[in-house]
Chain A
Amino acid sequence: MSNCTCGTEIDSDRAASELCAACLLRLALEPRVISGSSDEAPVRILGPVGRGPHGTVYLAARPDDDPQLVTVKVIEAATDARLFCQRLTSTAVLLDALRHPCIPELLHVATTASGQPYVMATYIRGPSLRDFIQARKVDVADRAILAGRLCSAVADLHEREIVHGSLKATNVIVLESANGPMPLLLDTGIVPAIEHGAGGPGVTSEARDERDLHALIGLVLGDLAGLVEGTEPAAVLADMFAPRPDRA
């Protein structure tokens, strides 16, 4: 049995193709043009750039006189489009007011012509947190900066009762700046909005906060501190901050 480019095993009972059934079906659902907000021209879909458990992300071009590229995430998970848009639009308004340097705003939340909800955001090119750490020798100081900025961003979200809902290393893009590496949280609020539209079990905001906090601990201790299963966190932290000649 071979694997699709998305990692899924391909059923042996298939006509020749190296892609799995879900990827092929998504291709046929791929929108060609997405409406902009009420006062904007539609954007042209250029092609898929990523897939996740809840939908497909496309790179899209805004009207010709605007060089800005955007991403359009089309939600394929089962959810009520109206409730999803209602919930995520509230989140988008709060994010716009927050203007946090680590949390990109959502440009537009709506449904495609065929009724699927989608989220438009500014396209940010950069490595994910995991790629950033694996590809470069990120020193302890930069790891600490990243951890601090991530914690501060999540704290600011929770202060405004916004739950991220999908904190993971692939949802964090890292940009280099004069002030050290800057983590940007993608997909803020999308999973809670999907769950809201799916009429999921009533989860208290405390429980949702807790879910973000567990994920954040995973990012800080797992991805940034390099904690592997079976290692004592204290030992990792002690190693991270142990004085070494090269850190003097």
Chain B
Amino acid sequence: MYAHTLPPRMTSERGRHRFATTRWSLVIAAAGLSPGSAGALAELCEAYWYPAYAYVRRSGYSVDDAADLTQAFFTRVLEKGFLKEARPERGRFRSFLLASLRHFILNERDWKNARKRGGDVLHVPIDFGEGEDRYQREPPDDMTPERIYERRWTLDVINRAITRLAAKYTASGRHALFVRLTPYLTGDEPQSYAALAASTGSSENALRQAVHRLRKEFRATLRETIAETVESGDDVDDELRYLLRVIAREP
């Protein structure tokens, strides 16, 4: 009989979180086949369709063709069995989506077939008018399709987290506080706490405490938002560092 000893990592605090389910891990565990995982995949596609659209537009497709292609791509992604075939780059939803999109564009037949189907699959509701407005505001530089995809992905992750946190503050009647305190999150003081206290009628100490709480909540919300797109909660720091490098490469 063999004596089994668990590796130390499995018994550690870190190990206890190792198998925590993320939205993306749920999708890939069931290969998008269970109703729960198909719905989770559709939600992720709905949240991150714009980087894909920007990639297609920056690849040189016209507005109409890009809309057509993007819709066909997401239709294909949401088809049963697609995830089973698309094995590479599954560790991150971000890289999975980009690799699949590149492949999809190269295989025009897939695109045309996807356009013909569609009755029995989930659709991603996409407002291409809004997408094109956003695309027109992109800086007119020589950013490659990959760079624009990753940059937009990063900004959309952040926007999603801010929107969620702002909604929470608004729901509890603290929206104005949220707006006033966000510039203080990094430790800078655009206006002294004393001046802010005088203009808000709060005490300096109460404002410092509120900034501390907001910082903690923002940190948790952004990490949760990123965790939805990676396979394991342990990957969040790596993904954050990757996104930071994406932004740092900006001119």
Contact = CB atoms under 8 A, between A and B. Distances in A.
Interface stretch (B56-64, B114-122, B243-251): B243-251
Contact of A13 (B134, B190, B240): B134
A15 B237 contact: no
Interface in A6-33: 6, 11-30
B240 A28 contact: yes
A33 to B, nearest CB: 12
Given A17-B182, A27-B219, A48 B241 contact: no
Given A17-B182, A19-B182, A27-B215, A116 B241 contact: yes
Nearest to B222: A28
B180 to A, nearest CB: 10
Interface stretch (B1-9, B74-82, B99-107, B159-167): B159-167
A29 B186 contact: no
A214 interface: no
Interface string B200-224: 0000000000001001001100110
B163 to A, nearest CB: 5
A213 B206 CA distance: 48
B15 interface: no
A60 to B, nearest CB: 13
Given A13-B155, A22-B248, A51 B162 contact: no
A102 B211 CA distance: 36
A50 B189 CA distance: 11
A15 B159 contact: yes
Contacts of A11: 155
Nearest to A114: B237
A25 B186 contact: no
Contacts of A22: 244, 247-248
Given A19-B182, A76-B244, A24 B134 contact: no
B163 A15 contact: yes
Interface residues of A, number: 32
Interface in A167-193: none
A29 B244 contact: yes
Contacts of B187: 47-50
Contacts of B179: 16
Interface in A104-142: 114-116
Contacts of B159: 14-15
Contacts of A27: 185-186, 215, 218-219, 222
B15 to A, nearest CB: 13
B137 interface: yes
A47 B208 CA distance: 11
A16 B166 contact: yes
B241 A5 contact: no
26 contacts: A5-B188, A6-B186, A11-B155, A12-B137, A13-B134, A13-B137, A14-B155, A15-B166, A18-B183, A18-B190, A19-B182, A19-B185, A20-B247, A21-B154, A23-B185, A24-B158, A24-B161, A25-B247, A27-B218, A28-B219, A29-B240, A29-B244, A47-B212, A49-B187, A78-B245, A116-B237
Would you list the 3 A-B pairs with minimal beta carbon distance, nearest first?
Answer: A114-B237, A48-B187, A5-B188
Interface of A: 5-6, 11-30, 47-51, 76, 78, 114-116
